[in-house]
Chains A and B, each alone.
Chain A
Amino acid sequence: MMSKLESKEDKMLEVQFVGDDDVLNHILDREGGAKIKKERAQLLVNTKKIIKKPEYDLEEDDQEVLKDQNYVEVLGRHVQESLKNGSATDGGNKVYSFQNRKHPEKMAKLASELAKTPRKSVSSNLKSDPEITIDIPQCSKGHSASDKVQLKNNDKSEFLSTAPRGLRKRLIVPRFHSDSESEYSASNSEDDEGVAQECEENTNEVILSEQIQAQNRVVSAPVCKETPSKKMRRDKTSDLVEEYFEAHSSSKVLTSDRTLQKLKRAKLDQQTLHNLLSKVSPSFSAELKQLNQQYEQLFHKWMLQLHLGFNIVLYGLGSKRDLLERFRTTMLQDCIHVVINGFFPGISVKSILNSITEEVLNHMGTFRSVLDQLDWIINKFKEESSLELFLLIHNLDSQMLRGDKSQQIIGQLSSLRNIYLIASIDHLNAPLMWDHAKQSLYNWLWYETTTYSHYTEETSYENSLLVKQSGSLPLSSLTHVLRSLTPNARGIFRLLIKYQLDNQDNPYYIGLSFQDFYQQCREAFLVNSDLTLRAQLTEFRDHKLIRTKKGTDGVEYLLIPVDNGTLTDFLEKEEEEF
């Protein structure tokens, strides 16, 4: 039997008896729908999948109850579920939606397996922010349907005993007299108390169940105390829409608030990091070597094809810089060639053309525009057919070169008969840079060179979060500069530092206004007129210790362009010294 919800709005409850078959049909129907929906949800991607426990949904209709039932059981079935998911995936989908996540639980499990000391592992993600997890009920709605699939596929007897007791109490009909599994009903007229009670029961059950991971309890308790959100009661048809917005809403992302700064590990400087890295021996070096040898055998072919009017582009995972470098040293020693580091942050087409005109063609004149320069180069190369030039471009798809104009110019260069271009690309969407016209200019031959080597050189211009950001430099320069100053000036600067540190939590802090600063300095007997202060400030400014900015009201604001950590360090040091 099953109580059906007739009208959701006015909280009227009507109990009616339904045969077992009907119940089964009902479930099967839903299941069919659910499967489709689930697939859609996967396409829509991801936030809601971050929340792995859909069972906090406190909806009060029958479906809700069903979910309550399998709440416990779901927890024990993570792995199985994910396996099931895995089998349902298809290839193309996987390749083209890179964001797609198929095995949420399994990866977590695998990761914790990998960790030899299974610390908080993934759970820390969930545990850390109770105020975020409260949002879960809304997010998890999409999962209600899929839960039923699990219910269906499950060994039902297993969780009969673990069904919420509060629910059972509320039901007039004793549950155990029937051996059918899904005859629970929910009453719509629950009061908050009842829900709370139910939730408590729920959590009790959770504790009883051995399969539950510890963190789930922590999350579930505060959630259940929440009043059931009425929002949940919506038509099934709107589910898809909801899912969409759930998937794309940014607010409900579970984030961990742990930061690198809280790590008690000191940051490394670039040198130490390099040293540490060099000690790591890459795994599979034999296989990698084999791969590289394979590619090296192509060198002659590349030369041949370059000479026959094709240009070569290399793609695939891993840095291709070493490979190209080897190509350069083995094949190009006797030819004029230009190596262009696309990853170099200051690279531009202009600089490429300049190096061709000035260094290759020994032309000392200047050009009015890049296009003029290009024309000149093209003419020059057309005139002198004996001239040959190899262009090696690492990362043709880099930020600086990927622009339409740059690509057009490089393409035009490469279309010349006696300029040979061999380039590498790394970005996933790099081929989108080229339309038909450019592609025919480039006349590419594609070669896949997956090397798995690290992008060490390519990323050397980027900053790693784990490396101390030039922090040592300002600190030492700060101390050096300040040591050369008079005690008064030092005091002035310290005042500014303190003020800035006091305001470090204020996101709208724009600096200390000159007037206030002058006032403070006077009070501390550091200056006697604003002229002296200005003179001091000029000195600071010359050493790049402060920056001044005009506020919206026209007042001058003073700011130290050094991060707060360094400033704190500096203050500490100062205090030690004096």
Chain B
Amino acid sequence: MATSSVSKGCFVFKPDFKKRKISVPIEDYFNKGKNESEDSKLRFETYQLIWQQMKSETERLQEELNKNLFDSLIEFLQKSHSGFQKNSRDWGCQIKLREIPTAALVLGVNVTDHDLTFRSLTEVLQNNVTPYVVSLQAKDCPDMKHFLQKLASQLMDCNVDVQSKEKESVQVTQKKIHYSMDSLSTWYMSVTQKTDVKMPRKKRTPPSQWQSPPVVLILKDMESFTTKVLQDFIIISSQHLHEFPLILIFGIATSPVVVHRMLPHAVSSLLCIELFQSLSCKEHLTTVLDKLLLTTQFPFKLSEKVLQVLTNIFLYHDFSIQNFIKGLQLSLLEHFYSQPLSVLCCNLPEAKRRINFLSDNQCENIRRLPSFRRYVEKQASEKQVALLTNERFLKEETQSLLENLHVYHTNYFLVLRCLHQFTSSLPKYPLGRQIRELYCTCLEKNIRDSEEYASALQLLRMLAKDELMAMLQKCFKVFKSSSEKQLGNTAKRIEEFLAQFQSLDAEAKEEEEDTSESQSKGLQKTDLYHLQKSLLEMKELRRASKRQTKFEVLREQLVSFIDSLAREYLLLPETQPLHEVLYFSAAHTLRQHLNAAPRIALHTALNNPYYYLKNEALRSEEGCIPNVAPDICIAYKLHLECSRLINLVDWSELSNIPLYICATSSLSIHPMMDT
């Protein structure tokens, strides 16, 4: 073979230049693999379109979520640096000057997403605060020397950006120099002076009010730094602070206490720490789900199982939004790849247009959809015949069904959000705190059958008025924010409820006035005995009036209203005809490709070869290996039999089947003929 050699392990293949020119466009791979490639080009284009939209949406979300944090960070940096700027003689400022301004950024568990956050933070800082932003990782800095070296070289790099690349050769030689804080601060002085001179000419300069821009040092994973390095660095740099304006940013995974645990008081007193909390990744996930899936903006939907797989990978494996997005991308791809009808998975007008151009094959595909079949069975017999034979009629029907599906989704998400407003703050969260949990339960089974739903309603019936009013307000906002007209009725109802509750308020006030009058009467100069007595009386009075106040009646009405909403709109997607067009349900493939278990695969292959090789001779009961099984399976069994020290001679004498012998490693198998 061309790729085996005893002298090298890398083989480069370069086709002729001419040949290389005709590279295959990606969409060809999309259809070639499948035999029935219906509208594959269109499908691929739709995939790319939707994916691009989703991607930009997530990026936008990310930016939005980080914005708050970054803004406050920038503000902190500017504020803390202003002290250095002013050089004031004020005693307080003098004291402060001794302290290194430090931002402790609590990010939560270290995941790969943080890299992204830090990258954008660096970018933002470089644009807004200072060109000198350096970020270090613990693994690069095992000791002080490396620490300073890294810091210096990155700083110089920043400098090269500002200056020009002509210094590159100089920089290379510089790398070998031992850096100290002294040299750094002299470097800083020279650089700032230079830039001062050059300032008018340079385009890319820090904002002009910054005479001497601060140096921002980001320690990405503060916990994994060795304490000694950190301590030394902090002590040294605090000595040089007046000439080398350093600002630290700690990325903290656990809790802010760790700063004090790592640094003794003498050191931590040199820091002027301010705490910043980033958004937790769970909230991040919720937002992403909210904006990507719980919306009609993107027609693509996930079935319950798929959503479970993705959220489980997120919650139990990595807490990484990026991975989640990757899973989403894969499911999108799989959907468009495997479902020929996914060509209709686009926005409604476009889908309607596409329906008109559907081929006969695709019409057959529609007829074969289980959900569509169920739908047909429910129709009158004439319509059934028409649906099954007449293409045009089918297309029209499909259009209306798709439209229904669209409307269904619009209503579904509105009601879902509404229900979430009501259930998210109930004690013990019977339906979950996050909307995704509620969504999952709704997708899994009919929500009204679930116990959690019943208990949630029960709890709703016990809520106080102001809580209910707050919920109603939020609900109303939800309905208001949506431009859709379908549920206008409901919005009106909610408004009415709100008004009724408010009017209740007024009535109650009047009543209260009465009672307070009576109370004030009762509470005039009494002794203990009388007080007790009057309190008891009041209690009696209240119980008597307890029968059913107006408020309770109204509350009951509200709950039944919510219940009716859920009954009407929160139907299972599986009940909708043509849901296969929009919903991706192959959770199994997704899990296989994202969360594979090589160990189980190996185990199955060795213990149960029938699973892969569908030969009846290999079928065996649990734990047995048929004697015709691949030799490696038998060898594995024997190895299990005596796993410590295997005597090859005994093995080979043990049977006269051709025996493959594990010679050097457990997976290197060499056969030997022994007959």
Contacts and interface: CB of A to CB of B under 8 A. Distances in A.
Contacts of B669: 454-455, 459
B598 A355 contact: no
Contacts of B607: 94
B3 A339 contact: yes
B350 to A, nearest CB: 22
Contact of B601 (A280, A297, A450): A450
A344 B8 contact: yes
A352 B654 contact: no
Interface string A282-298: 01101110110000011
Interface in B22-69: 22-24, 26, 29-30, 32-34
Interface string A72-87: 0000000000000010
A100 B322 CA distance: 39
Contacts of A315: 596, 598, 601-602
A101 interface: yes
Contact of B318 (A103, A425, A436): A436
A335 B23 CA distance: 8
A512 to B, nearest CB: 32
Interface string A195-212: 000000000000000000
A107 B638 contact: yes
Given A95-B603, A307-B29, A334 B15 contact: yes
A25 interface: no
B670 A452 contact: no
A316 B14 contact: no
Contacts of B197: none
B1 to A, nearest CB: 7
Contacts of A299: 33
Nearest to B30: A304
Among A303, A341, A440, A458, the one with the most B-chain Cβ atoms within 10 Å of its Cβ is: A440
B612 interface: yes
B547 interface: no
Interface residues of B, number: 95
Contact of B23 (A339, A388, A466): A388
A369 to B, nearest CB: 11
A483 B330 CA distance: 70
Contacts of A113: 627
B664 A462 contact: yes
Interface string A345-364: 01100011011100110000
Nearest to B27: A304
Given A351-B10, A462-B668, A284 B615 contact: yes
A447 B640 CA distance: 27
Interface in A497-514: none
B644 interface: yes
Contact of A359 (B14, B601, B667, B671): B14
B112 A291 contact: no
Contact of B648 (A121, A287, A465): A465
Nearest to B26: A307
A335 to B, nearest CB: 7
A334 B23 contact: yes
B12 to A, nearest CB: 4
Interface string B1-15: 101111011111111
Contacts of A308: 26, 329, 333
Interface string A443-486: 10111101010110111111111110000000000000000000
B213 interface: no
A149 interface: no
A317 to B, nearest CB: 4
Contacts of A276: 671, 673
A423 B11 CA distance: 15
A227 interface: no
Interface of B: 1, 3-6, 8-15, 19-20, 22-24, 26, 29-30, 32-34, 110-112, 115, 318, 320, 322-323, 326, 329-330, 333, 337, 592-596, 598-603, 605-607, 609, 612-615, 618, 622-625, 627-628, 630, 632, 637-638, 640-645, 647-650, 653-658, 660-661, 663-665, 667-673
22 contacts: A95-B603, A102-B640, A110-B625, A114-B654, A115-B654, A259-B649, A287-B613, A299-B33, A300-B32, A304-B337, A325-B3, A336-B13, A337-B12, A346-B8, A355-B12, A360-B14, A427-B667, A439-B318, A443-B326, A455-B668, A458-B668, A459-B663
Given A288-B613, A427-B667, 20 more contacts: A46-B643, A86-B622, A103-B623, A125-B650, A260-B649, A283-B630, A300-B34, A334-B24, A338-B13, A341-B10, A344-B8, A344-B9, A359-B12, A450-B605, A457-B1, A459-B669, A461-B6, A464-B663, A464-B664, A464-B670
